[in-house]
Amino acid sequence: MASSSFPFGLLLLLLLSLQSARITGSPSYCGPIPASDKDRIEFAQNLEFLEAEFFLRGSMGKGLDSFDPQLAKDGPEPIGAQKANLDPLTFRIIQEFGYQEIGHLRAIVDAVGGIQRPLLDLSPEVFATIFNKAVGYTLNPPFDPYANSLNFLLGCYVIPYEGLVGYVGTIPSLQYYSSRRLVSGLLGVESGQDAVIRTLLYERAGEKVPPYDITVAELTNKISMLRNQLAMCGIKDEGLIVPLFLGAENLTDSNILSANAYSISYARNPQEILRTVYGSGSEYTPGGFYPQGANGEIASRFLGNRTA
């Protein structure tokens, strides 16, 4: 059962995260950008590729090319993904999520044509870098999402939520009913996946993550704060245990579903998403899960504006 206490240090870090997000400078634009429905949906496909490969390879040791290679459009195979050491329940859940992501990719390709799979880096080293940044020091041994079920769920905590808030941010800008219907359907499943992952982690919120001296809840809080800092647009990401001012109706510190003061899902725009998944805090500087950058018109627009 999760502890009801929220350490003051984490509260301070959360407030510092919000302050950091308010700092102006380039890049820090948090508003909408002009784009067609097709471009917006294909931007989201970058995240669907990431989720598909992580879930499929983590559960079964084989990726999209083993099921429907045409969906990748000859894009490069991911780097570093491994079959994780999962218990039977976690295996079945993650396997199902992987199959769902194949359907998502097929739905996007059928609707708008789709993009080529970008180069993805799902190596333990990328996750280790993210977790080191989140906690503020070098974990020893390095965090490995493939080592066991708990680690893999913590790795999952890093990924599907970005798709969720991205879809929430996309829907208001879509022009056509067919686009809104597609994206709302994708959002429904993405939010379900995120809820399952957060619930499984919440059950172990007070446990230490072996071999580190940090609990599951503390680690999720730190990951969420890191993403808020990278995205630079305020608090749109919350861990499993929060201060009351961020809890539902300010009456609970339980936070199985991350949401705003009205218990409505947070939204992010493409720039915020890129700043986060690149791990660079800049939509112009690829890295992290996308060492060569994301694909599609929106991501390419920013990559094309990079300064040397």
What 8-state DSSP symbol labels residue 65? G
Residue 5 has pLDDT above 70, yes or no: no
Residue 24 has pLDDT above 80, yes or no: no
pLDDT tens for 174-198 read 999 999 999 999 999 999 999 999 9
Tell me the pLDDT of the chain averaged across its residues.
92
Q: What is the mean pLDDT of residues 102-118?
A: 98
Question: Is 237 in contact with 227 (CB distance < 8 Å)?
Answer: yes
The residue length of the chain stands at: 308
Pick from 211, 142, 228: which is nearest to 242 by CA? 228
Residue 241 has pLDDT above 50, yes or no: yes
- CA 235 distance to own-chain centroid: 15
Q: What is the mean pLDDT of residues 84-111?
A: 98
d(CA 163, CA 154): 16
The residues that bridge with 215 in the sheet, in sequence order, are: 208
Q: What b/e readout covers 164-200, taking b as 16+ CB neighbours within 10 angstroms?
A: bbbbbbbeebbeeeebbebbeebbebbbebbebbbeb
d(CA 165, CA 260): 12
Question: Is 231 in contact with 187 (CB distance < 8 Å)?
Answer: no
- More confidently predicted of 11 and 289: 289
pLDDT of residue 28: 75
pLDDT tens for 35-79 read 999 999 999 999 999 999 999 999 999 999 999 999 999 999 999
Question: Is 108 in contact with 190 (CB distance < 8 Å)?
Answer: no
H helical segments located in the chain: 8-21, 37-60, 88-112, 124-135, 149-158, 160-170, 177-202, 216-231, 270-277, 297-303
In the chain, what percentage of residues exceed pLDDT 70? 90
- One-letter identity of residue 72: A
Q: What is the mean pLDDT of residues 234-259?
A: 94
Q: What is the mean pLDDT of residues 99-117?
A: 98
pLDDT of residue 287: 98
Question: Is 55 in contact with 101 (CB distance < 8 Å)?
Answer: yes
pLDDT of residue 306: 61
Q: What is the mean pLDDT of residues 32-37?
A: 96
Q: What is the mean pLDDT of residues 121-128?
A: 98
